[in-house]
Structure 1
Amino acid sequence: MIARIWRGWAPTATADDYQHHYETEVAEHLQRVPGFRGARLLRHQDGGEVMFTSLTFFTAMGDVHAFAGADAEVAVVEEAARRALSRWDERVVHHEVAVDLPV
């Protein structure tokens, strides 16, 4: 399994907008990707800014390419996200999941 890790920052005033975008539009898009295995959005308040860390899981890198395109390390940041965020990682990092502990 592959973990795709990306971060974005939002002013506190628009952080809920970004979270809503992730819960709706991003979730809908991911559900249509073959090999999608789940996602988590982490939220960390830091002063007047919120840092989001997105962890998405895919069966294999081929599935990541189905989501992100030919250059899978380029961040996928839709227009609604760009409106809510003040900055974001332009590139993502992929890790092979070495241990997956079930609940």
Structure 2
Amino acid sequence: MIARTWHGVVPSEKADAYYAFLLRTGVPDYRATKGNQGVLVLRKIEGDVAHYLLLTLWDSLESIKSFAGEDVELARYYPEDQEFLLEKETYVTHYEVLGSVEAGQGELPLR
């Protein structure tokens, strides 16, 4: 499994509106892409800005390509993002998922 992370920053006063925007656009688009295994939307408000971290889980690089395009390292944006984001970061980050455990469900496996 592959985890893909994207980071964005919006003014704090737009934080709730941006979350609603994500729920209408990015989150459903992730979920509609074959091979998507889930999405987490994380937010941290720091003074006058709100940081968003989206973590999506994928079954393969090919599945990510069907969402993001051939260059999976490039972030994907919607035209309306410019109404919220203070800047558009160019790249996302990918991680190999080695294991996961839900609360109370055991231990992570050794590799």
What TM-score results when the alignment is normalised by the length of structure 1? 0.93
* Matched residues, number: 103
Residues 71-101 of structure 1 deviation map (CA, whole Å, 9 limit, x = unaligned): 0010011112221111232100000101111
Q: How many Å separate the matches in 1 of 2:52 and 2:88?
A: 9
Greater CA drift, 85-94 or 51-60: 85-94
1:1-103, aligned counterparts within 5 Å? Answer: 1-103=1-103
Structure 2 unaligned spans of 5+ = 104-111
CA-based RMSD of the aligned residues comes to 1.1
Greater share of strand: 1
Deviant stretches of 4+, over 2 Å: none
* Unaligned residue ranges in structure 1 (runs of 5+): none
Q: Which one has the largest radius of gyration?
A: 2
Q: Which has the higher contact order (CA 8 A, sep 6+)?
A: 1
Q: What TM-score, normalized by structure 2, do the two folds share?
A: 0.87
Q: Deviations over 1:11-58 (max 9, x none)?
A: 011111211111121122112211000001110011100000110111
Q: Percent identity?
A: 27
